[in-house]
Structure 1
Amino acid sequence: MSTRLRRPCRRKSCWCSRSEGWGPLCHFLDVAQPNEPFPNLNDRETIKKIIRDIIKGSYIMLGLTVAAITAVIAALWWWLG
Protein backbone atom coordinates (compact mmCIF):
# COMPACT_ATOMS: atom_id res chain seq x y z
CA MET A 1 0.00 0.00 0.00
CA SER A 2 1.50 3.29 -1.06
CA THR A 3 0.59 6.81 -0.17
CA ARG A 4 0.94 9.83 -2.35
CA LEU A 5 1.56 13.31 -1.15
CA ARG A 6 -1.05 15.69 -2.38
CA ARG A 7 0.12 19.17 -3.20
CA PRO A 8 -2.01 22.01 -4.46
CA CYS A 9 -1.56 22.74 -8.12
CA ARG A 10 0.42 25.93 -8.57
CA ARG A 11 0.19 26.11 -12.33
CA LYS A 12 -1.68 28.98 -13.86
CA SER A 13 -3.50 28.85 -17.12
CA CYS A 14 -4.04 31.58 -19.66
CA TRP A 15 -7.10 31.59 -21.86
CA CYS A 16 -6.94 34.30 -24.47
CA SER A 17 -8.03 34.62 -28.07
CA ARG A 18 -6.07 35.95 -31.01
CA SER A 19 -8.43 38.87 -31.35
CA GLU A 20 -7.23 40.18 -27.98
CA GLY A 21 -3.67 40.54 -29.30
CA TRP A 22 -0.51 40.45 -27.22
CA GLY A 23 -2.01 42.03 -24.10
CA PRO A 24 -3.38 39.07 -22.11
CA LEU A 25 -0.53 36.74 -23.07
CA CYS A 26 2.21 39.22 -22.18
CA HIS A 27 0.44 40.08 -18.92
CA PHE A 28 0.22 36.36 -18.05
CA LEU A 29 3.91 35.81 -18.84
CA ASP A 30 4.86 39.09 -17.17
CA VAL A 31 6.85 40.32 -20.17
CA ALA A 32 6.75 43.51 -22.21
CA GLN A 33 4.51 43.66 -25.26
CA PRO A 34 6.37 43.53 -28.60
CA ASN A 35 5.92 46.32 -31.14
CA GLU A 36 5.02 43.81 -33.86
CA PRO A 37 1.41 42.89 -34.59
CA PHE A 38 0.10 39.61 -33.17
CA PRO A 39 0.71 36.84 -35.75
CA ASN A 40 -2.40 35.47 -37.40
CA LEU A 41 -1.26 32.64 -39.64
CA ASN A 42 -4.59 30.88 -40.06
CA ASP A 43 -6.60 33.57 -41.79
CA ARG A 44 -8.59 32.77 -44.92
CA GLU A 45 -6.30 34.55 -47.40
CA THR A 46 -3.16 32.82 -46.11
CA ILE A 47 -4.79 29.39 -46.36
CA LYS A 48 -6.04 30.15 -49.89
CA LYS A 49 -2.54 31.22 -50.95
CA ILE A 50 -1.02 28.05 -49.50
CA ILE A 51 -3.57 25.90 -51.34
CA ARG A 52 -2.95 27.80 -54.62
CA ASP A 53 0.80 27.28 -54.24
CA ILE A 54 0.33 23.56 -53.58
CA ILE A 55 -1.90 23.18 -56.63
CA LYS A 56 0.52 25.16 -58.80
CA GLY A 57 3.42 23.00 -57.61
CA SER A 58 1.40 19.86 -58.35
CA TYR A 59 0.76 21.00 -61.93
CA ILE A 60 4.44 21.79 -62.41
CA MET A 61 5.44 18.34 -61.12
CA LEU A 62 2.83 16.70 -63.36
CA GLY A 63 4.13 18.61 -66.38
CA LEU A 64 7.74 17.68 -65.64
CA THR A 65 6.78 14.03 -65.18
CA VAL A 66 4.89 13.94 -68.49
CA ALA A 67 7.82 15.67 -70.23
CA ALA A 68 10.31 13.16 -68.80
CA ILE A 69 8.19 10.18 -69.81
CA THR A 70 7.74 11.64 -73.29
CA ALA A 71 11.50 12.18 -73.61
CA VAL A 72 12.23 8.57 -72.55
CA ILE A 73 9.67 7.18 -75.00
CA ALA A 74 11.04 9.38 -77.82
CA ALA A 75 14.62 8.30 -77.06
CA LEU A 76 13.64 4.63 -77.05
CA TRP A 77 11.69 5.07 -80.29
CA TRP A 78 14.70 6.72 -81.94
CA TRP A 79 17.22 4.18 -80.55
CA LEU A 80 15.15 1.07 -81.33
CA GLY A 81 13.43 2.33 -84.44
Structure 2
Amino acid sequence: MIIPVFVVAQARWSAEDIYLFVAAFGAMGHHLPGMIRAYGDRALFQRFRWRFIFAPIFLVVVCTTSFLWDLKTTMRKWAHSLR
Protein backbone atom coordinates (compact mmCIF):
# COMPACT_ATOMS: atom_id res chain seq x y z
CA MET A 1 0.00 0.00 0.00
CA ILE A 2 2.89 2.39 0.68
CA ILE A 3 4.58 1.81 -2.70
CA PRO A 4 1.71 3.28 -4.78
CA VAL A 5 1.68 6.32 -2.48
CA PHE A 6 5.37 6.95 -3.18
CA VAL A 7 4.92 6.38 -6.92
CA VAL A 8 2.16 9.00 -7.01
CA ALA A 9 4.18 11.34 -4.77
CA GLN A 10 7.22 11.08 -7.07
CA ALA A 11 5.11 12.39 -9.93
CA ARG A 12 4.57 15.63 -8.01
CA TRP A 13 7.66 16.02 -5.78
CA SER A 14 11.34 15.17 -6.06
CA ALA A 15 12.88 12.30 -4.12
CA GLU A 16 14.65 14.84 -1.89
CA ASP A 17 11.35 16.55 -1.01
CA ILE A 18 9.77 13.21 -0.11
CA TYR A 19 12.79 12.27 2.00
CA LEU A 20 12.66 15.59 3.86
CA PHE A 21 8.95 15.15 4.56
CA VAL A 22 9.46 11.61 5.89
CA ALA A 23 12.43 12.72 8.01
CA ALA A 24 10.51 15.68 9.44
CA PHE A 25 7.52 13.47 10.21
CA GLY A 26 9.79 10.95 11.95
CA ALA A 27 11.58 13.65 13.92
CA MET A 28 8.28 15.05 15.13
CA GLY A 29 7.19 11.58 16.23
CA HIS A 30 10.48 11.16 18.05
CA HIS A 31 10.60 14.53 19.84
CA LEU A 32 6.92 15.30 20.51
CA PRO A 33 6.37 12.77 23.34
CA GLY A 34 9.40 14.12 25.21
CA MET A 35 8.21 17.70 24.81
CA ILE A 36 4.72 16.78 25.99
CA ARG A 37 6.22 15.15 29.09
CA ALA A 38 8.69 17.97 29.77
CA TYR A 39 6.22 20.82 29.40
CA GLY A 40 3.16 18.92 30.69
CA ASP A 41 4.59 17.45 33.90
CA ARG A 42 4.44 20.26 36.48
CA ALA A 43 7.05 18.75 38.81
CA LEU A 44 9.51 18.15 35.97
CA PHE A 45 8.93 21.62 34.54
CA GLN A 46 9.47 23.25 37.95
CA ARG A 47 12.69 21.30 38.44
CA PHE A 48 14.19 22.32 35.09
CA ARG A 49 12.22 25.54 34.50
CA TRP A 50 15.07 27.73 33.23
CA ARG A 51 16.42 25.04 30.93
CA PHE A 52 12.99 24.48 29.39
CA ILE A 53 12.51 28.22 28.90
CA PHE A 54 15.93 29.28 27.63
CA ALA A 55 17.04 26.20 25.64
CA PRO A 56 14.43 26.67 22.87
CA ILE A 57 15.20 30.40 22.70
CA PHE A 58 18.92 29.63 22.44
CA LEU A 59 18.33 27.07 19.67
CA VAL A 60 16.16 29.48 17.67
CA VAL A 61 18.84 32.18 17.93
CA VAL A 62 21.63 29.79 16.90
CA CYS A 63 19.64 28.34 13.99
CA THR A 64 18.53 31.76 12.76
CA THR A 65 22.07 33.12 13.02
CA SER A 66 23.47 30.12 11.15
CA PHE A 67 20.84 30.48 8.45
CA LEU A 68 21.40 34.21 7.98
CA TRP A 69 25.19 34.13 8.14
CA ASP A 70 25.71 30.82 6.33
CA LEU A 71 26.58 27.92 8.62
CA LYS A 72 29.97 27.18 7.05
CA THR A 73 31.13 30.77 7.41
CA THR A 74 29.96 30.93 11.02
CA MET A 75 31.69 27.67 11.93
CA ARG A 76 34.92 28.76 10.22
CA LYS A 77 34.93 32.03 12.15
CA TRP A 78 34.27 30.20 15.40
CA ALA A 79 37.01 27.62 14.73
CA HIS A 80 39.43 30.39 13.73
CA SER A 81 38.71 32.29 16.97
CA LEU A 82 39.75 29.24 19.01
CA ARG A 83 43.30 29.35 17.64
Q: TM-score scaled by structure 2?
A: 0.30
Q: Determine which structure has more spread, i.e. the larger CA radius of gyration.
A: 1
The higher relative CO (CA closer than 8 Å, separation ≥ 6) is in 1
* Greater share of helix: 2
Q: TM-score scaled by structure 1?
A: 0.31
